[in-house]
Every structure is written in C-alpha cells, then in structure tokens.
Structure 1
Amino acid sequence: MLTITVTHRKELKARAHALNPVVMIGKSGLSANVIGEIDRALSSHELIKIKVQMDDRVARNTFFEEICALTNAAPVQHVGKILIIYRPKPEETEKKLERARAPAKKKRAPLRKKRDFQN
C-alpha cells in the first residue's frame, strides 16, 4: 500500500471534492472484475471516488483496505459510503524525475521596449 504525506492528502481531498464516483461496489462485494475496473480507473485518472452500496461500516473499512492493498494505492479519505483512492501515474513520476535531473534553463534577454529605440 502506498503512503502519502498529510499535506499531499489535504491537496488530494480538495481535488477530489468535485469528482463523481467512477466505480460502484454493489451488495455482492468485491470481485475480480471490480478490482480490475478500479485498477483501470486509477491508471487513467490517478485519483478516483468509489461508492459502496453497503450499510455495514466495518465491511466498508475492509473494502477500503483491501482495494488499497490489491491496487497498490494510497487511501485518501473514507466519508460515509464514499472512498477516495490515489495512485500516481507511472509516466508522470518518471517525468518529474527527469525534470529534477535536467539542468536549469538559461534566462533569455529581456524584450526591448519602444523607448529603447528612441534617441
């Protein structure tokens, strides 16, 4: 299971506020198909909401932990029947590493203004 910092979790909660649930888990519970759909949604969106149609809070907590363990995702928030899960895209983490390794760009000369041309 992936872990995230408190400040990153706050940012993710703010981003997830406007999202709609992408996956719904019915009363039959987790199945291989549901886990596959969650994995595909995380691959394309990286931050998703899941709605669980069960009234049992303990079962929802176990679903939350199982989903995060099986998909290698980080738990962000569990409010009522809504679960918010985050897993960064692998391409973006590689791009961030490349940007960190790249040398800094040179500053270009400032643009000339109209007064620069006048006597």
Structure 2
Amino acid sequence: MSNQKNLTPSQVKFLRGIAHGLNPIIIIGSKGVTESLMEELESSLEHHELLKIKIAIGEKDDRKEIIEHIVAQTQSQLVQSIGKTCVIFRAKKQTEIQLPK
C-alpha cells in the first residue's frame, strides 16, 4: 500500500540522531498491542513522523514480533531498536523532516 522507499544508511543515521533526544511517546504495557493503542500510534505518526516507542513487556523475541507487527500495520520503517525501545519513521505528505539523499 505504501510506496515509501527503504531508508539509506545515511538517512537512518540522520533519524537516529534526531530520535536520540526524544522521549517515548507510546509505551506498550501489560495489555500489549490493542486496537486503541494502534489508533493512538497511527494518530501520533500522522502528527510526529518519527516516534520512539517503549515496549515494557515480553522477552527479546516477543518485543521483536511486536515491532514487526507495528511496522507492518502502520506502514512505517524501523529506524532503530535497542533493548526495550524502538524508533519508527513514516514520512508525511508535507514532511517536516528533510532526509539527506
């Protein structure tokens, strides 16, 4: 559905630099990925483009599955995943973040 290209290594590095100073906007707790969480995630992506998400449940493999599900459902791209935190990006039509070529 989405026609976004994959991010280049320089674009990933650029986005990681921006995301470093961000606080998690979405925190996934004991209820896991619910419909209301996905609605909030979608709304946040439309507004912010670049989101830091904290996954406070599960083991490493569980968190990886959650991240893959979120990326697929939101048609976003994974920028970084470290421990219980991940960063995703989805450009808006009128993007505020100018990615390097």
Fold equivalence (TM over 0.5):
yes
Structure of higher CA gyration radius: 1
Aligned pair count reads 94
| TM-score after normalising by structure 2 | 0.86
Higher relative CO (CA 8 A, sep ≥ 6), structure 1 or 2?
2
Displaced runs of 4 or more, over 4 A:
none
Structure 2: 5+ residue stretches without partners: none
TM-score (norm 1): 0.74
From the two aligned structures, give the one with the greater helix fraction. Answer: 1
Which of 79, 86, 90 lines up with 1:87 in the alignment? Answer: 90
CA distance in 1, matches of 2:92, 2:78: 15
What percent of counterpart residues are identical? 33
RMSD in angstroms over aligned alpha carbons?
1.7
Structure 1 regions of 5+ residues with no counterpart?
97-119
Structure 1 stretch displaced more, 26-35 or 16-25 = 26-35
Residue of structure 2 aligned with 1:53, choices 47, 52, 56: 56
